[in-house]
Amino acid sequence: MKYLKLLLIIAFTLVLLFAASDLPYRGNPDNQMNQEVSMTGTEVPGNYYIQEAYNDAHTPNIVTVILGDYRSIDTLGEQIVIFTAGLICFLLLRKRGEGDDE
Amino acid sequence: MTNKEQSPIILLGSRFLSPYIMVFGFYVIFHGHYSPGGGFQGGTLLAASLLLIRIASGTEIASLQFKDYLATPYAALGVLIYFGTGLTAIFTGGYFLDYEQLPIPGLEAADLRYWGILIVELGIGLTVMTVLVLIYDNMVKGEDYA
């Protein structure tokens, strides 16, 4: 059983190495993520974000503009996740009165 | 909490340190447009300054600083600030969370987006701070219930 686990780990490592050998080199300007158009010929949004973030919001920090303006519904979802976690902790851990038994 | 006697050194040290952590939390929220930071990080720092007093001094002194029953309404208020900003943009004729349509007079579209992001970050910071305090308070309460 122990050797089977070891064999599985080695096999999985080989699969991951084989997959990683096909990744593009980091920083290569010919990579797909550094191109201005996607594979289907449309303009990628990241290009627009980098070029227009300061003009749209007068904010030097691009990350803030992306999180707060372009992807603001995503941030709203994150906030609601945190709020829900707090409410669940409140409902599970709150101090109950002497009379209630659940 | 459990021990009856408070150590004055720990209480004094945490009272000395807590306002500076709180100021740094506000700095992280309000300076998020220029440096790394924002509502989540700043809210966590604000919660750290409140929790420091809570851990060092116990619930009686800590309730002078922030009442524990206020945590849930403030967390809901933070979500409502964010959601209300989006709804205000709808009512004034834009899309959801379109900060250009916020009814603040005398600002251009780009400056409206700047202030809209700041309002939203304030809501996030309020929610994160109060939720962390709420989780701590309820865990302490659950401990002496059991």
To the nearest whole angstrom, how far is the Cα of A40 from the nearest Cα of chain B?
28
pLDDT computed for residue B5 by the predictor: 65
Q: Apex CA B83: angle with CA B82 and CA B89, to 5°?
A: 100
**Average pLDDT for residues A52-58, to the nearest whole number?**
90
**Average pLDDT for residues B118-129, to the nearest whole number?**
94
Whether A95 and B141 lie within 8 Å, measured CB to CB: yes
Whether A72 and B120 lie within 8 Å, measured CB to CB: yes
Under the banding of pLDDT at 50, 70 and 90, the label for residue B94 is confident
Under the banding of pLDDT at 50, 70 and 90, the label for residue B139 is confident
Output the average pLDDT for chain A. Answer: 87
Residues 6+ away with beta carbon under 8 Å from B98:
B89
| Interface predicted TM-score (ipTM) of this complex, two decimals | 0.85
Asked if pLDDT for residue B130 goes beyond 80, the answer is yes
Chain A residue closest in CA terms to B119: A68
pLDDT computed for residue B146 by the predictor: 38
Asked if pLDDT for residue B79 goes beyond 80, the answer is yes
**Average pLDDT for residues A27-34, to the nearest whole number?**
80
pLDDT computed for residue B145 by the predictor: 43
Tell me whether B35 touches chain A (CB under 8 Å): yes
Output the average pLDDT for chain B. Answer: 88
**Average pLDDT for residues B77-104, to the nearest whole number?**
91
Single out the residue of B133, B140, B135, B145 nearest to residue B25, CA to CA.
Answer: B133
Chain B residue closest in CA terms to A75: B124
**Average pLDDT for residues B136-146, to the nearest whole number?**
69
**Average pLDDT for residues B20-30, to the nearest whole number?**
95
pLDDT computed for residue B38 by the predictor: 87
Asked if pLDDT for residue B48 goes beyond 80, the answer is yes
**Average pLDDT for residues A60-88, to the nearest whole number?**
93
Cβ contact B125:B78 at 8 Å: yes
What pTM was computed for the model? 0.81
| Pairwise pLDDT comparison (A10 vs A27), residue with the higher score | A10
